[in-house]
Amino acid sequence: MRSDVSDLYQEMILDHNKRPRNFQVLENPSHEAEGYNPLCGDRLTVFLNVEAERIAEIGFQGSGCAISRASASLMTDAVKGRSVGEARDLFDRFHKMVTTPPEYAVEDMGKLSVLAGVREFPVRVKCASLAWHTLKAALDRDGGTSTE
């Protein structure tokens, strides 16, 4: 089955690319990590303020393609206010969603499901997951990540 590019570039993705949410630097974040995809040069930094095991504030900065930027924006909305445990759980579920071959059904993840379309575009999966890997690295406090 053929998928059209509009399956990938859905309205919500284009909107988050054009007007990314939480596109900000946090002063004195409790957690921070930089993510880099050497394949395409996409680079982003995720900032977190974790208070009592809850993500009180989140921001990101960086440059990249529409998919990586929209994914980062959607991610920040999805994890803001959640506990660290819930954020890690979302990471696992998101990762599973974008790496499941397109012929298999995947869990409905609400807004995040707009990124399930990358499964039809294998080289773009890394774009969609860069922000999430960076979030995980920030929570693990290992300072940097790369999707390579």
Partner 1 sequence: MTPHAARGAAASRIDVGRVRADFPILRREVHGKPLVYLDNAATTQKPQPVLDAIAHYFTACNANVHRGVHLLSQLATDQYEGARDKVRAFFNARTVREIVFTRNSTEGINLVAHSFGGRVRAGDEVLISAMEHHSNIVPWQLLCERSGARLRVAPIDDRGDLLLDELDALIGPRTRIVAIAHMSNALGTINPVAEIVRMAHAKGAAVLLDGSQAAYHMPVDVRALDCDFYVATGHKLYGPTGIGVLYGKEALLEEMPPFLGGGDMIRSVTFERSTWNDLPHKFEAGTPHIAGAIGLGAAVDYITAIGLPDIQQHERELLDYATGVVAGVPGVRLIGTARNKASVLSFVLDDVHPHDIGTIVDREGVAIRTGHHCAQPVMERFGVPATARASLAMYNTREDIDALGRALHRVREVFA
Residues 23-52 within binding reach of partner 1 (CB under 8 A): 39-43
Kindly give, in sequence order, each residue whose CB lies less than 8 Å from that of residue 123, ignoring residues fewer than 6 positions away. none
**Shortest CB 2 distance to partner 1, Å:** 6
Here the tokens at position 101 are 């071959």
Residue 89 DSSP one-character state: H
Strand partners, 58: 48
What lies within 8 Å, CB to CB, of 1 at 6+ separation is none
CB nearer to partner 1: pick between 26 and 44: 44
Smaller CB distance to partner 1: residue 75 or 118?
118
Q: Which residue has the tokens 């995040």?
A: 112
Check binding of 79 to partner 1 (CB under 8 A). no
What mask, x for binding partner 1 by CB under 8 A, covers residues 93 to 122? ----------------------------x-
* Residue 124 near residue 115, CB atoms below 8 Å: no
Least spacing, CB of residue 72 vs partner 1, in Å: 13
3-state secondary structure of 148: coil
Q: Which residues bind partner 1 (CB under 8 A)?
A: 2, 4-6, 8-9, 14, 39-43, 63-67, 121, 123-124, 127
